[in-house]
Structure 1
């Protein structure tokens, strides 16, 4: 891979990210970038993205909770995604439920890690796995019910 092309590709994101309000942008070897947005005194949204050998961008939000966001084709797509994501977080952090939401998402992250450990390190009886699967689907159904009964937030441009 031509590192100079990769560096130029990564640098194309720096100005638009600063215009969106990025408080820190750290370039690590022109292939890995860390971006931080400080929304409020105690609320930071940060991302890491890397540019692969095929000049595709892999983006992951790392705070306020880690969540892979996927593969993007070009820098415009990644800027558009981050712009929408930051707008949503700016709205969400004004909610009286924001801290509870963060607690829930962080707990889900810990549970996901615990599940991986469970499956990789223990021989779990099928009955317990079936019970777990059923309860997980109940939780998923609850999320869908909550979404159906709640007001959808529409952000205006």
Structure 2
């Protein structure tokens, strides 16, 4: 299960809407071994495409060096789909290289840049196997918030 704070959830959705009609992409880093996404890093889609995303190799190298210096790892790797559902494509599955990460997809198919539904779904992708997982959105980390998993498909 992915647990994510409301501010980070909102920032990912805002990034997806802002970059529409191109796919948005980014990383949420967290302390190594914590499984807690704490530092949102929106990235540039170097492909600048509505059907494909690609991290800029220089920016990605810089990010991995920063994460290493800060004892962080990619907890969430996200991107948006602009014309399809929030489910990993074959290309997404083939490119998934972080078995410990949560792969989040946001669909802007219905809302584009505006208000409206933005399905937000999380997956584990290991050795080409895709497994959807629940997403729980909390007000903030460390609070005793007892929430049931939120329906993030709308």
TM range (shorter): under 0.3
Q: Comparing both structures, which one devotes a greater share of its residues to strand?
A: 2
Q: Comparing both structures, which one devotes a greater share of its residues to helix?
A: 1
Greater C-alpha radius of gyration: 1
Normalised by the length of structure 1, the TM-score is 0.27
